[in-house]
Amino acid sequence: MIKSLRIVAPMAASAAVLAVALAGAAHAQTPAKPHVFTAKDMASLDRLSDPRVSPDGRHVLYSVRTMDYPANKAAMSLWIADLKARMAPRRLKISDGGASSGRWSADGKTIYFSSSRAGGTEQVFKTDVMGETATQVTAAPFDVQAFKVAPDGKTIVVGLAVFPDCANFACTEGRLAAKTATKATGVVYDRLFVRHWDTWNDGTKNHLFAWTLDANGVATGQPIDLMKGFDGDTPTKPYGDDADFTITPDSKGVVFSAKVAGKDEAWTTNYDVWSAPLDGSARVQNLTAANKAWDAAPVFSPDGKQAAYRAMKRPGFEADRFGIIVRDMATGQERELAPTWDRSADSIAWSRDGKTIYATALDVGQGKLFAIDVKTGKVAALTGEGHVTAFDVGPGGLVYASDSLKSPSELFMTLPKGPPARVVSVSDEALKDVAWGEPEQFRFKGWNDETVHGFIVKPANFDPAKKYPVAFLIHGGPQGSFSNSWSYRWNPQIYANAGYAVVMVDFHGSTGYGQAFTDAISQHWGDRPLEDLQKGWAFATQKYGFLDSDRACALGASYGGYMVNWIAGNWNAPWKCLVDHDGVFDTRAMGFATEELWFTEWENGGTPWQPGTTYETFNPALHVDKWVKPQLVVQGQLDYRIPVEQGLATFSALQRKGVPSKLLYFPNENHWVLKAQNSVQWHKEVLDWLDQWTGNTRPGK
């Protein structure tokens, strides 16, 4: 069963730590008030992220995203907390112009950050620890997508989108201006990607540039394209950031992760780790050419003698296990650290003494932080229940952000003895009166008689004498997990506060249960996970008597939306209604229309025209004749992962068959619904649909 993480404040803790500890004690003694937690409440919450510990370990810098709901616009600010003194965290005044990606200089005297305060493009600025005034560091003609400052403080490396064959910024500016000036709108492509995630390819590539910093810490002279002529992107697309590259401890070079685009960019996962000198004296060098699978996120040991990076082993498979490779930079010799540890590392960092590598990974429904001994490979979990989203290494320990099914992200720090202590929360006040739905993890025998885990979340203000309608949530990926984590898109607490019990099953294919468990779904989209969902539903309804199995709806997005469409024709008996968000309707058409072809080709065992694949074996479009249950379809126009035609085809099939159905269409959303007011509308339509078919009377409606 999910338990609350016990928090103990250290003797020298800050006022922030003591305040939240006392607040927690007060809440434990006071019965929760029946406040209904709504989608608007969730969309309006401040969001904490990106903790960075100062070099001396005294402070932690972090970002806070604040939503202006009426304006439908978010603003970023930087905050700082003193980990030793008794004082509340403070917002840096430079945040008034917008500030994010706060980074410490090596000496701890300067804070660098990103902002669009000057001229509208995103640039790098700097301030001191007080954060009163800002000095502009870069003045590039394009947005700075990510940056890092060399340890010696003499160079800044920035990511900029340029045409890779251009010799200078003026060349890229000229080409972009020419495109804007012409009346002709046609675009010619001769290779994929034509579009990726939610953006059409404009021919530019993200390149790293090294800029000299003058005595005042301002970029001067002409920047050096460290990837000159390189046909690839760093930061990587579509979600890359400064974790894709690192500067060597001696401040002489950069090491980065990138994939050569070429003609096969859309169907290869062959990202490599590359190196280049900061002075531009040599071309990039491929350090991992021997591995044709995914290599990512290099980080150096403090002394610079070793580097670690994450690596997959199977080309073409994006959900392979990320092992940790340690490389001797002098000899080039490599070894896998903890090769028998059957978890996939999400992020890694070295300890200050170089003896430990810290890593985050999903582990049986929890997102944990682990310590791995570099010499022996021994693995130890540093956190328990919850989901670590980010962390940083300080001289006295770790500071990390963690969330759970009952809490948005908060900051914690590890202590020499005892459990971690909470340092900062940005949502305590907003959530103090919320009655949470209590989560509980369960397990049962699923496909192949193997253990499968799931979560149930009880309705808020739960009454054991009542029976409750059920929202049966199916996660996407499919190599993913709902886990004990907080989501701003599919949050079970919204359903729990609307009067629903929530059931979620981590079917075969889910992550955090070993690589064999994850592998089991490939070429088996419609049988093994369906069996798990069926057995999980049977187990949950037998174990939890408060579930009203006669008033249940199944909901999912992405692969979860695919499964809803598959369920519609293969297991529709238990459900009063269905909700499909950006789900696959026709797997064969999906194989031609999606942008990242490696995904559909791996999952179906080849291209759509090859024999022996599963495109038609588990194709929802072939079972439309059995669709009878009311279904809500949600689709974003900018979704290039599962293109809009898939959603339109689903709705057309439902309408043509006369099945009660609705289409919720967002012209300005991608695979996710991200805009605050759109999110609230999404939740209203979904909950109204569930209420209509289950007869639920929503609290507070």
- Please list the active-site residues: 558, 639, 671
318 burial level (CB within 10 Å; 0-12, 13-18, 19+) = middle
Q: What is the DSSP letter of 442?
A: E
Which amino acid appears at position 126 of this protein?
A: K
**Pair of tokens at residue 354:** 């170089």
**Pair of tokens at residue 588:** 């064969």
CA angle 298, 301, 306 (to 5 degrees): 75
Question: Quick one: which of 239, 41, 219, 279 has its CA closest to 145?
Answer: 239
**Pair of tokens at residue 550:** 């006669």
Residues near 467 by beta carbon (within 8 Å), at least 6 away in sequence: 545, 546, 547, 548
Q: Cα 153 to the chain's mean position, in Å?
A: 31
Q: What is the DSSP letter of 449?
A: G
Residue 92 to residue 381: CA distance in whole angstroms: 34
**What per-residue string of b and e applies to 638-676 under the rule 16 or more CB within 10 Å gives b?**
bbbbbbbebbebbbbbbeeeebebbbbebeebbbbbbbb
Is 226 in contact with 280 (CB distance < 8 Å)? yes
Residue 650 to residue 645: CA distance in whole angstroms: 8
Is 391 in contact with 402 (CB distance < 8 Å)? no
Is 554 in contact with 575 (CB distance < 8 Å)? yes
Question: Quick one: which of 392, 305, 379, 387 has its CA closest to 349?
Answer: 392
Determine phi and psi for 169, rounding to 5 degrees. -65, -35
Q: CA 465 → CA 421, 472, 477, 700, distances in Å?
A: 37, 21, 36, 21
Q: CA 606 → CA 270, 520, 585, 598, 618, distances in Å?
A: 17, 17, 19, 9, 14
Residues near 282 by beta carbon (within 8 Å), at least 6 away in sequence: 276
Helices (H), 128-268: 169-181
